[in-house]
Structure 1
Amino acid sequence: MNYKVGIVSLGCAKNQVDAEMLLFTLKNKGFTIVNDPAQADAVIVNTCGFIDSAKQESIDEIIELGKLKREGTIKAIIVTGCLAERYQNEITKQLYEIDAAIGIGANEQIADIVLEALKGKKAEVFPDKVCLPLEGGRIQSTPSYTAYLKIAEGCDNRCTYCAIPMIRGRFRSRKPENIIEEAKTLAKNGVKEINVIAQDTTRYGEDLFGEPYLAKLLRQLCQIDGLEWIRVLYCYPDRLTDELIDTIAEEDKIVKYIDLPLQHCNGEILKRMNRHGDREVLTELLNKIRTKIPNVVLRSTFITGFPGETDEQFEELAQFAKDMKFQRLGCFAYSQEEDTPAALMPNQVDEEIKQKRADIIMEQQQNIMAEYCESLIGSDVKVLVEGYDKLAECYFGRSYADSPEVDGCVFFTCPDEKPEIGSFVNVKITDYTCCDPVGEMV
């Protein structure tokens, strides 16, 4: 029988790449892939288990699919990804809708597991995390012109608030020749923008070569015909070497955009997070980046309400964000994750205070982003066209300052011609709305 399979992938882009590899495996085994879960015989939920809100999203999705299963629309629900890996002894007991729960190390077995589930056989399969395949084919789920390129798996940083090392295992780099080959294939298939991802991209190659190799890998990626934009995400501040900064500055294909999750600026808080530096060290790094890379766009994330964070330490963080004027910034209230060192720390901060602090920084950030958009007025910006907004009656796309799915976009009109989706156009910025630039194609 030709079974139909759908997949719902939640969480980060790294999880999305895993889902694309699952789809490839299933298609190779004869399954028909469908986009609408309601049209499937079996649905895979590739879950996120990073923080409480992400876990709840995964649980809600499983419960909703359970309704389709009770109606007889679908026959089986298979759960994989971070939530399944993290709660492998509990998930099927808590969520009776699930027919199979598998850890990330079982992803290569997905076809057999789906077949068993469709035959009514319950399964719980949790091999070692290192069995998660780093190599393999993918069915691209992003638009044809953009793709994620995962260069490593796992994390060794051991930040005290983070459960990722226990979920995804030790840091493991892919071989550079395999990455380059995959990037060439993506380019041949029409991909123009590659977004380089890992839990910590800046650690890439240390386990293979005894030293950071990201700068060298990026130089090789820049040689691939067809690629126009290469974006580097998830950089760890301690490993942003001069060599890497110079590479980003010198290579035209690498967009001048650095994603640098700092989490905080207070030295005492960072130490308790098992991170390094302080406000002075981080300010020096950011100033160096901006000096070496003119017009660089900096993205960061902060955590408010980490255990023991005082009013003074929060005010230092807020002032740091104000002084540094990150063009892109996310701020999140600390999530107390079980089995992490930070969860057991004294002086846990009240939920309402944590959230209020995050709100203050994000309100402040709205003004900074508005200032940035205003500074663009009158300039020409290269935009990757992504679609047409019928309500606004204009096109939209992303500039080098906009990472897919996490940042905003540029809205623009085209009085004379219709641009092709996935093409690059120049847009003269004339205004902005809700911190998104507005302009006209030139």
Structure 2
Amino acid sequence: MKIGFISLGCAKNRVDSEIMMGLLKRHGHSIIDRLEYADIVIINTCGFLTEAKEEAIEQILRTARLKEKGLLRHLIAAGCMSQLHAQELLNEIPELDGVLGISTYLEINQLIEKIASGERVNAVKPAPESFIEQGPRILTTPAGLAYVKISEGCNNRCSYCAIPIIRGQLRSRSLSDIVQEAQGFINQGLKELVIIGQDPASYGIDLGNDADLSELIRALDTIPGDYWIRLMYLHPARLTSGMIKTIAASEHVIPYLDLPVQHISQSILTKMNRHHSEQELRDRLQELKSAVPDLVLRTTVMVGFPGESDNDFQSLCDFVKEYEFDWLGAFAFSPQENTVAMHMDDQVPDEVKAARLDKIKSIQHRITREKNRARLGRTEKILISSRSSANLYLGRSYFQAPEVDGITMVKSDQPLRKGDFVQAHLVGVRNYDMIGELSHEPSQ
């Protein structure tokens, strides 16, 4: 059959979709981009925020119209929202032929066989107790890049977060499996491995064999080649001094870290159950900046958490101005089912959340713009991902993570190959993006 995919949400969801694609292709199915030509469409949903759930429902309903027009035979929902609301989705959306969750997507071929025979299937089961999220993958990332998922689930139990409810407890992947997959990607010529998980800094604590993020980095560093390792989603409370030293000494880990801080007010950090104090967070940031030269930091903050006062919010604004993160993602608190924060007193009105979100974004926009302007005149290594026009290519430098940060547009009179590193002289800034000019031949 011809099967189309829509993958919503985070990079971790993308990896799950890529594995499903690989399993389907191995079974003889074709993966296609044009949904109107597909026999089956699989929508891998996100369930982390209310907006994400709404987007997933809208996408399911839009795709269901293809069935109404006779252009699509079957429609399947997968992922986090399916894990939470499987039967409700089947009850409310008759066009859905099946749902599968985070623990059953490896059974996608069996599910399709049942659906093709006329069954309507709820294949959602509780989260598994070990790491199962691996298999053949069809990469959907830009050229030269692959995400490497090292763990699933989370033990932190932040009071606002439904991820442990949806995806279960921390389940680390074996170190040898991670290195084997990474080695395969490097052998294919990929230039960037983005390490992901719900909390990669907690990697290995469930394995019982002393494996941790430091050991994993050292093992990955033994793979020869010219490539980047990028670390994302590192919980500040789980990032140790030993890990920081390993990151600083690594040959391939680039000086870019994604460290979601969420807030700085002590009262809010406590209510969020973030497992560290304000001072511990400040100490960790200072330790990072001292240990890693030219460190680029991305973070995430949340505004409008229950009980967030004007003073709490002002403390957050002052903190963002003080530390001048290179990149910052901000979102307003959204109460999630079955979480502690959903039932807290002193819920912040939506209009106050919106105003605070606008303000924090405005502060960060100025900071990021100035950070980018300070990079003008530098020559940077750029990973070319695509061609935009005859003499213009799109790529990223080490200070730009895929999908969440800006890009670098590279002007070149000579053809460049997607997935290669080139050197570019940075000559301009456009909003969050950089403009560069090729400075010499692309590296091979």
TM-score, normalised by the number of residues in structure 2: 0.95
Deviations 1:89-124 (A, max 9, x none): 311112222110122222122112112222331111
Tell me how far apart the structure 1 counterparts of residues 315 and 126 of structure 2 sit (CA, whole Å): 42
AA of the residue aligned to 1:15: N
Q: Which has the higher contact order (CA 8 A, sep 6+)?
A: 2
Counterpart of 2:428 in structure 1 is 431
Cα separation, partners in 2 of 1:327 and 1:159, compared to 1, 3 Å:
same
Task: Tell me the CA shift for residue 210 of structure 1.
Answer: 6.2
Q: How does 1:3-402 map to 2 (within 5 A)?
A: 3-130=1-128, 133-209=132-208, 211=210, 213-226=212-225, 228-390=227-389, 394-402=392-400
Tell me how far apart the structure 2 counterparts of residues 256 and 48 of structure 1 sit (CA, whole Å): 30
SS in structure 2 opposite 1:363?
Answer: helix
Matched residues, number: 438
SS in structure 2 opposite 1:159?
Answer: coil
Query: Is the 1:5–1:33 contact (alpha carbons within 8 Å) kept by the matching residues of 2?
Result: yes
SS in structure 2 opposite 1:127?
Answer: coil
Tell me how far apart the structure 1 counterparts of residues 137 and 432 of structure 2 sit (CA, whole Å): 35
Tell me how far apart the structure 2 counterparts of residues 138 and 15 of structure 1 sit (CA, whole Å): 13
Query: Is the 2:304–2:352 contact (alpha carbons within 8 Å) kept by the matching residues of 1?
Result: yes
AA of the residue aligned to 1:439: G
Tell me how far apart the structure 2 counterparts of residues 134 and 25 of structure 1 sit (CA, whole Å): 12
AA of the residue aligned to 1:150: K
SS in structure 2 opposite 1:206?
Answer: coil
Query: Is the 1:41–1:74 contact (alpha carbons within 8 Å) kept by the matching residues of 2?
Result: yes
RMSD: 1.5
Deviations 1:302-334 (A, max 9, x none): 000000100000000000000000001011011
Deviations 1:2-44 (A, max 9, x none): x111111111111111111111111222212212221111111
Q: Mark the runs of 5 or more structure 1 residues left unpaired by the alignment.
A: none
Residues 1:422 and 2:441 aligned together: no
Tell me how far apart the structure 2 counterparts of residues 59 and 19 of structure 1 sit (CA, whole Å): 18
Task: Tell me the CA shift for residue 249 of structure 1.
Answer: 1.2
Task: Tell me the CA shift for residue 227 of structure 1.
Answer: 5.1
Tell me how far apart the structure 1 counterparts of residues 216 and 299 of structure 2 sit (CA, whole Å): 23
Most deviating of 26-35 and 144-153: 26-35
SS in structure 1 opposite 2:434?
Answer: strand
Deviations 1:389-428 (A, max 9, x none): 339x62221000111111101122224x222111111111
AA of the residue aligned to 1:295: D
Identity %: 38
Cα separation, partners in 2 of 1:322 and 1:213, compared to 1, 3 Å:
same
Task: Tell me the CA shift for residue 439 of structure 1.
Answer: 2.4
Tell me how far apart the structure 1 counterparts of residues 208 and 327 of structure 2 sit (CA, whole Å): 33
Cα separation, partners in 2 of 1:431 and 1:135, compared to 1, 3 Å:
closer
Cα separation, partners in 2 of 1:382 and 1:227, compared to 1, 3 Å:
closer
Q: Mark the runs of 5 or more structure 2 residues left unpaired by the alignment.
A: 440-444
Deviations 1:155-176 (A, max 9, x none): 1110110000010011000110
SS in structure 2 opposite 1:244?
Answer: helix
Most deviating of 136-145 and 160-169: 136-145
AA of the residue aligned to 1:270: L
Tell me how far apart the structure 1 counterparts of residues 206 and 250 of structure 2 sit (CA, whole Å): 25
SS in structure 2 opposite 1:130?
Answer: coil
Tell me how far apart the structure 2 counterparts of residues 227 and 22 of structure 1 sit (CA, whole Å): 29
Task: Tell me the CA shift for residue 47 of structure 1.
Answer: 0.7
AA of the residue aligned to 1:83: M
Most deviating of 238-247 and 258-267: 238-247
Tell me how far apart the structure 2 counterparts of residues 305 and 194 of structure 1 sit (CA, whole Å): 34
AA of the residue aligned to 2:240: T
